[in-house]
Amino acid sequence: MEAEAAVDYLVDERSKAQFDIDAMKIIWAGGKHEFEVSDRMARLVASDPVFRKDNRAILDRKELFKNTLRKAAHAWKRIIELRLSEQEASKLRFFVDEPAYTDLHWGMFIPVIKGQGTEEQRKKWLPMAYRMQIIGCYAQTELGHGSNVQGLETTATFDPELDEFVIHSPTLTSSKWWPGGLGRASTHAVVFARLITDGKDHGINGFIVQLRSLDDHLPLPGIIIGDIGMKFGNGAYNTMDNGFLRFDHVRIPRDQMLMRVKQVTREGKVVQSDVPWQLLYGTMVYVRQTIVADASCALSRAVCIATRYSAVRRQFGSQNGHETQVIDYRTQQSRLFPLLASAYAFRFVGEWLKWLYMDVTQRLQARDFSTLPEAHACTAGLKSLTTSVTADAIEECRKLCGGHGYLCSSGLPELFAVYVPACTYEGDNIVLLLQVARFLMKTVSQLGSGERPVGTTTYLLRLEHLLQCPCDVQGAEDWLKPDVVVQLFEARSARMTVACAKSLSKFSKPEDGFMDLSADLVSVATAHCQLIVVSKFVEKLQQDIPGEGVKQQLEALCSIYALSLLKKHLGDFLSTSCITSKQASLANDVLRSLYSQVRPNAIALVDAFNYTDHFLGSVLGRYDGNVYPKLYEEALKDPLNESVVPDGYHEYLQPVLKQRLRTARL
Ligand SMILES: CCC/C=C/C(=O)SCCNC(=O)CCNC(=O)[C@H](O)C(C)(C)COP(=O)([O-])OP(=O)([O-])OC[C@H]1O[C@@H](n2cnc3c(N)ncnc32)[C@H](O)[C@@H]1OP(=O)([O-])[O-]
Ligand SMILES: Cc1cc2nc3c(=O)[nH]c(=O)nc-3n(C[C@H](O)[C@H](O)[C@H](O)COP(=O)(O)OP(=O)(O)OC[C@H]3O[C@@H](n4cnc5c(N)ncnc54)[C@H](O)[C@@H]3O)c2cc1C
């Protein structure tokens, strides 16, 4: 009876939607074709029992890892059998939803060879990698150095006599530590090491090194290798074999140095090609860009769970004879709807970043390196912003689901545990924001010298205006004007940037200024990145958006995104005199009315993500809203419930109980 009532809640919710949900699904997916591929792959995975994942939290590490190997092998078999395209295969792996060595093989090993190898090296290594005849990983981070790439200690010393490099780990801290796929699965790695020729250190470079035998998978001579151990959370990221690796004078042929950026000749001479040395960091730029799109996936997933459950869950009050749906509490809306809006915002900024990355890649091929610094700043900054927000948002969604959110069967604890390292890998978020700040300070300092800011920093050309312009909000409705909001975010970012640049100029050594002001510099970078997200959302809305009511919903979400940021960072906006307290109060009123506008559409807005129940992996987020009976079902599956009397009762519970009885009698 209760179960049926729960199902009814969501049917009723869906009937309230004021927009064409199928059209929204296509917008979310990024196009009709993308939607079709994604939908087909999600269903394929969901209907295959090998891809079951509801038991991950109770498997021990060895079983868990073996299961991941099994799934990866099965995924590969299906990819071959069904002759899936690269796009389909990557979607299939995405919906398998389990961190695995294949992520690094496809996501870093292949891209690093593509980006940093010569034509010849690509021809030799890529076909084997594409067929998975070799499995590779990306071995950069060391026990002693992750963020500071220039501080890596592994050496690659050229031996001109044998035309080979000797790869060596001179210290404990030079051990490679963290690379995914390294611990157990990889046969090869691209190892980043210091290039030494003729006793001279030429800085870091990538080298392709075979780690394990292709016959019996045993480590090759001089290779000390293993898994770094359990990580945060049960199941979660422990499906991945992050590894350690030490080299004891391991020899590789000269042609296994990736030579697009630097070459070493037969005689041992180092030749720097005309591409910028920063291309050595290019794979990180590529992955950071993909992480932004992934952030919208993880965030939308958590928001989907919390929104559906908030419509099912009732506490206190009275609504047509029932208690109130918790989604109708203003406090719930003010915590949930900005996250819903952020999921859409990150989706669109991720799409734009993908375009930016493709653009910079094409320019690089044409030897135009001018947009590389901006691409670095955008990928670094947006990776940092979106992953930090998403990690916090998953935890907020757990709280929005009350006690049941803490159950593994809610799907949220595992999502959180898998997601949080995104704030650290591919560059610690603070370190990356400091890179953005460095780029902004450089851009501002060059304004007087005729150097024109490009792309996302073009607004700094209007610096004089932005430093003085008052905010154009007279009445509440002005807060819904995109140009007013974008200019406000530009003004805040410009004013904070200039204030920091002024403080920096007071230091005789810029490095001292950067150290002293680093917390302020991080705030400046955050303001700039938030401006990018807001303006890319606004630009998206200027495109043709088909589907009845779709554009209106997206406009409401865009305003919620911007105004909730304004509310959260009110200190920035007030202290830079960008707005008055009266305008801030009007913005708050508008936010409340936007929440009311979104409320009837909330369930349809999360349905538009088109997630299967398999992918969501959450009893609370089930499409049918049938939460309570399923919570019981999941609880009863727990191994603790296999027997009525627990293991250990006779040894440890009974004696205690008996003793208490005796004590009571005394
Ligand atoms: C999915 C899970 C798998 C995870 C895998 C991993 O985690 S893998 C491991 C992931 N590991 C990490 O993510 C490690 C994170 N650490 C790093 O990326 C670097 O150590 C660093 C960028 C923090 C500093 O680097 P540094 O000490 O060499 O340099 P610097 O600060 O002195 O700057 C010098 C110049 O270079 C510029 N520039 C910098 N980067 C780029 C770029 N990518 N492109 C273009 N340009 C770039 C910079 O703007 C500056 O320009 P300017 O002002 O002279 O015109
Ligand atoms: C799950 C996971 C998977 C990974 N996969 C791989 C992989 O496949 N391949 C690989 O090579 N690596 C991998 N890594 C390593 C990862 O890239 C590094 O951990 C990351 O770059 C951060 O470096 P670190 O660990 O040295 O952090 P640290 O730099 O030691 O950070 C510690 C603290 O110091 C602060 N800090 C550091 N420098 C500065 C500064 N200049 N100014 C202010 N604060 C600073 C940071 O903000 C942080 O709070 C992985 C890591 C994780 C967690």
Token representation of residue 594: 């936007």
Is the Cβ atom of 100 under 6 angstroms away from ligand 1?
Answer: no
Closest C-alpha to 572, from 515, 493, 633: 493
| Ligand in closest contact with the CA of 277 | 1
Q: Considering Cα of 429, then 104, then 355, then 277, what sign does the dihedral take? A: positive
CA distance 2 to 13: 17
Cβ within 8 Å of residue 521, ≥6 positions away: 433, 434, 437, 438, 441, 500, 514
Determine which of 49-58, 66-75, 322-331 has the lowest per-residue pLDDT on average: 49-58
For ligand 2, atom 16, the nearest C-alpha belongs to 425
- Out of 281, 370, 445, mutate this one to test ligand 1's pocket (max ligand atoms within 8 Å of CB): namely 281
Is the Cβ atom of 181 under 6 angstroms away from ligand 2?
Answer: no
What atom of ligand 2 comes closest to residue 141's alpha carbon?
11
Asked if residue 223 belongs to a domain, the reply is: yes
pTM, entire model: 0.97
What atom of ligand 2 comes closest to residue 137's alpha carbon?
8
- Measured in Å, residue 593 CA sits from the centre of ligand 1 at 43
Q: Considering Cα of 399, then 401, then 402, then 404, what sign does the dihedral take? A: negative
Is the Cβ atom of 344 under 6 angstroms away from ligand 1?
Answer: no
What atom of ligand 2 comes closest to residue 430's alpha carbon?
47
- Measured in Å, residue 369 CA sits from the centre of ligand 1 at 16
Is the Cβ atom of 141 under 6 angstroms away from ligand 1?
Answer: yes
- The pLDDT, as a whole number, for residue 4 is 46
Is the Cβ atom of 430 under 6 angstroms away from ligand 1?
Answer: no
| Ligand in closest contact with the CA of 379 | 1
Cβ within 8 Å of residue 540, ≥6 positions away: 348, 351, 352, 554
- Measured in Å, residue 130 CA sits from the centre of ligand 1 at 28
For residue 534, give Cα distances in angstroms to 38, 52, 70, 340, 603: 27, 38, 42, 14, 24
Cβ within 8 Å of residue 580, ≥6 positions away: 471
- Measured in Å, residue 560 CA sits from the centre of ligand 2 at 33
Is the Cβ atom of 435 under 6 angstroms away from ligand 2?
Answer: no
Check pLDDT > 90 for residue 256: yes
Asked if residue 189 belongs to a domain, the reply is: yes
Stretch 497-507: mean pLDDT: 97
Is the Cβ atom of 237 under 6 angstroms away from ligand 2?
Answer: yes
Confidence of residue 625 (pLDDT cuts 50, 70, 90): very high
| Ligand in closest contact with the CA of 287 | 1
Active-site positions read 426
For ligand 2, atom 40, the nearest C-alpha belongs to 431
For ligand 1, atom 34, the nearest C-alpha belongs to 278
Cβ within 8 Å of residue 313, ≥6 positions away: 325, 326, 327, 401, 402, 627
Determine which of 4-13, 165-174, 217-226, 282-291 has the lowest per-residue pLDDT on average: 4-13
Read off the DSSP letter of residue 194: E
- The pLDDT, as a whole number, for residue 5 is 45
Is the Cβ atom of 141 under 6 angstroms away from ligand 2?
Answer: yes
- The pLDDT, as a whole number, for residue 329 is 97
Q: Are 296 and 383 in contact (CB under 8 A)?
A: no
For ligand 1, atom 36, the nearest C-alpha belongs to 278
- Measured in Å, residue 473 CA sits from the centre of ligand 2 at 43
- Out of 147, 285, 423, mutate this one to test ligand 2's pocket (max ligand atoms within 8 Å of CB): namely 147
- The pLDDT, as a whole number, for residue 7 is 53
Is the Cβ atom of 424 under 6 angstroms away from ligand 2?
Answer: yes
pLDDT tens, position by position, 333-376: 999 999 999 999 999 999 999 999 999 999 998 999 999 999 99
Is the Cβ atom of 446 under 6 angstroms away from ligand 1?
Answer: no
Q: Which residues are annotated as a binding site for FAD?
A: 141, 180
Q: Which residue has the tokens 């910079």?
A: 360
- Measured in Å, residue 370 CA sits from the centre of ligand 2 at 28
CA distance 309 to 416: 17
For ligand 1, atom 44, the nearest C-alpha belongs to 376
Token representation of residue 302: 């958590």
| Ligand in closest contact with the CA of 151 | 1
Check pLDDT > 50 for residue 109: yes
Stretch 97-117: mean pLDDT: 97
- Out of 424, 517, 521, 522, mutate this one to test ligand 2's pocket (max ligand atoms within 8 Å of CB): namely 424
Check pLDDT > 90 for residue 65: yes
Asked if residue 44 belongs to a domain, the reply is: no
- Measured in Å, residue 280 CA sits from the centre of ligand 2 at 18
Asked if residue 160 belongs to a domain, the reply is: yes
Check pLDDT > 60 for residue 1: no
CA distance 375 to 361: 10
CA atoms within 13 A on the CB side of 344: 30
Q: Considering Cα of 309, then 313, then 317, then 321, what sign does the dihedral take? A: positive
**Average per-residue pLDDT in the chain?**
95
- Measured in Å, residue 102 CA sits from the centre of ligand 2 at 21
- The pLDDT, as a whole number, for residue 54 is 86
Q: Which residues are annotated as a binding site?
A: 141, 180
Is the Cβ atom of 277 under 6 angstroms away from ligand 1?
Answer: no
Question: Residue 163 maps to which CATH number?
Answer: 2.40.110.10
For ligand 1, atom 26, the nearest C-alpha belongs to 150
For ligand 1, atom 47, the nearest C-alpha belongs to 278
Which domain, by its residues, includes 231? 110-273
pLDDT tens, position by position, 75-103: 999 999 999 999 999 999 999 999 999 99
Is the Cβ atom of 387 under 6 angstroms away from ligand 1?
Answer: no
Is the Cβ atom of 350 under 6 angstroms away from ligand 2?
Answer: no
Asked if residue 211 belongs to a domain, the reply is: yes
- Out of 142, 186, 283, 376, mutate this one to test ligand 1's pocket (max ligand atoms within 8 Å of CB): namely 376
- Out of 425, 435, 446, mutate this one to test ligand 1's pocket (max ligand atoms within 8 Å of CB): namely 435
| Total count of domains within the chain | 1
Confidence of residue 386 (pLDDT cuts 50, 70, 90): very high
- Measured in Å, residue 426 CA sits from the centre of ligand 1 at 10
pLDDT tens, position by position, 146-176: 999 999 999 999 999 999 999 999 999 999 9
pLDDT tens, position by position, 207-230: 999 999 999 999 999 999 999 999
- The pLDDT, as a whole number, for residue 448 is 83
By CB neighbour count within 10 A (0-12 exposed, 13-18 middle, 19+ buried), where does 274 fall? exposed
Is the Cβ atom of 447 under 6 angstroms away from ligand 1?
Answer: no
- The pLDDT, as a whole number, for residue 663 is 61
- The pLDDT, as a whole number, for residue 662 is 59
Confidence of residue 535 (pLDDT cuts 50, 70, 90): very high
Stretch 509-516: mean pLDDT: 96
- Measured in Å, residue 371 CA sits from the centre of ligand 2 at 26
Stretch 122-134: mean pLDDT: 98
- The pLDDT, as a whole number, for residue 661 is 57
Asked if residue 633 belongs to a domain, the reply is: no
User: Could you write out the DSSP letters of every residue in 146-189?
Assistant: SS-GGG---EEEEETTTTEEEEE--SGGGSEE--TTTTTT-SEE
- Measured in Å, residue 387 CA sits from the centre of ligand 2 at 14
Check pLDDT > 70 for residue 6: no
| Ligand in closest contact with the CA of 178 | 2
Determine which of 26-30, 389-393, 405-409, 446-450 has the lowest per-residue pLDDT on average: 446-450
Is the Cβ atom of 425 under 6 angstroms away from ligand 1?
Answer: yes
Asked if residue 266 belongs to a domain, the reply is: yes
Asked if residue 236 belongs to a domain, the reply is: yes
pLDDT tens, position by position, 537-586: 999 999 999 999 999 999 999 999 999 999 999 999 999 999 999 999 99
Stretch 247-273: mean pLDDT: 97
CA distance 94 to 80: 17
